[in-house]
Homo-oligomer: A and B are copies of this chain.
Amino acid sequence: MGRNFLYAQSGGVTPVINASAASVIEAARGQGGKVGRLLAASDGIVGVLEERLFDTGKLKKSVIEAMNQTPGGFFGSCRYKLPDPEANRTLYERLFEVFQAHDIGCFFYNGGNDSADTALKLARVARTLDFPLQCIAIPKTIDNDLVMTDNCPGFGSVAKYVAVSTLEAGLDVRSMAKTSTKVFILEVMGRHAGWIAAASGLVGGDRSEPPHLILMPEVPFDESAFCKAVDQSVKRNGYCVVVVSEGVRDSQGRFLGEAGSTDAFGHKQLGGVAPTIADLIGQRLDHKCHWAVSDYLQRSARHIASKTDLEQARAVGKAAVELAIRGESGVMPVIRRLSDQPYRWTIESAPLARIANREKKVPKKFIRSDGFGITPSARTYLEPLIRGEAYPPFDRNGLPAYLRSELVPMERKLPDFSI
């Protein structure tokens, strides 16, 4: 019998991270005697440190099928950046005690940049210690900002949600514009890269259609040019739909969402670039505005997941297990695009050393020359990623039949440890 594997989820969750988890479980089961047990940690690396583990062998097939269709992180995720080995030896000693106690031969970390970094650090320390541990990162981020992969599992579904929402809200605003709302602003995620906002551009065929303006962090916000463009759209089209990344900054590099808005007590308002822009339009143009902030709704909207995205989330899970069986470590399965039309892709493997702590922004060639839209080549890149629907089953009461069962943790073998 092979040694045990350990799977954990990290960073902001996505509509399809559990599909990767389900796929890892299924692939590990399919390996017969080559894999011992597949364990899963609660709350990412934090649950490894605290030895809060589950035995996925206890999960019924129906639970795994439901996991495949459920948003959020079923095992719990974390935002926790592992310090350098030199800075905190105790943490690493504890991690390897846990790996040893449970005979873990391979650790899968399902996340983005930070998680690739964690997996890489662990792979390196294991090598230094001569500890037989493989570390494999499984890509997942709605931000689509991992390098070495054509796109990131999780992004396609959020892109689809944002594009569908932009199309729908655009039809709403158009209906109302004669006597009421003229400008609608949708704030989407993307602190450093504008991929999600860019995806809304899949809706409009030309500048007369929503979204009339897209604001991405890659383009410094120019208040005058923006207000002029909003006003022009209202004059030409009767209304204006704006999609804005939360991470848009002014020319001094300050986040617009933190641009000095204070409440009655003098406290800074929490986030919100959409209300900031609505306020600006109200002051400078006097157009009636509405704004929406989709926040977690966009990244948990499994009900409108992209079928392409779901397939890719599953493919990287399966590939991770195959890489493990082949004895690889310090790698990540990545998506390579083979052709745009027809859209074809395959899974390859890339070294974590070339992925960790790097960031892929929206390239210049994808941004329209005025900075407020996307180019045809961006459309060619983005379009296949939102293709296909993958509806979850619905209960007879009208709600998706998502997995809500509680897990029973394994018995612990080590003394308490709390981060």
A-side residues, CB < 8 A to B, are: 9, 12-13, 15, 42-44, 46-47, 70-74, 76-80, 160, 163-165, 167-176, 178-181, 184, 186, 202-203, 209, 259-265, 267, 269-272, 274-276, 278-279, 282-283, 289-297, 299-304, 306, 308, 383, 386-389, 391, 394, 396-400, 402, 404
19 A-B pairs whose Cβ atoms sit less than 8 Å apart in the complex: A46-B178, A72-B171, A73-B172, A163-B398, A163-B399, A172-B296, A262-B263, A270-B278, A272-B275, A290-B295, A292-B293, A292-B295, A292-B297, A293-B293, A304-B304, A386-B399, A387-B396, A389-B391, A391-B391
**Interface pair A402/B260, CB less than 8 Å apart:** no
Instruction: Given the known inter-chain contacts A272-B272, A399-B386, please indicate yes or no for A9 contacting B391, CB distance below 8 A.
Output: no
CB distance from A293 to the nearest CB of B (A): 5
CB distance from A153 to the nearest CB of B (A): 16
Residue from A180, A260, A279, A296 having most chain B Cβ neighbours under 10 A: A296
**Interface pair A179/B264, CB less than 8 Å apart:** no
Q: Please report the C-alpha to C-alpha distance between residue A64 and residue B265 in the assembled complex, in whole angstroms.
A: 54
Q: Please report the C-alpha to C-alpha distance between residue A348 and residue B377 in the assembled complex, in whole angstroms.
A: 55
Task: Name the contact of A71 in the complex, choosing from B15, B171, B186, B264 (C-beta under 8 A).
Answer: B171
**Interface pair A402/B269, CB less than 8 Å apart:** no
Instruction: Given the known inter-chain contacts A79-B176, A291-B293, please indicate yes or no for A171 contacting B269, CB distance below 8 A.
Output: no
The 7 closest A-B CB pairs, nearest first, are: A72-B171, A73-B175, A260-B264, A292-B295, A386-B398, A168-B300, A172-B300
**Interface pair A71/B279, CB less than 8 Å apart:** no
Task: Name the contact of A383 in the complex, choosing from B173, B300, B398 (C-beta under 8 A).
Answer: B398
**Interface pair A160/B389, CB less than 8 Å apart:** no
Q: Please report the C-alpha to C-alpha distance between residue A386 and residue B415 in the assembled complex, in whole angstroms.
A: 49
**Interface pair B291/A294, CB less than 8 Å apart:** no
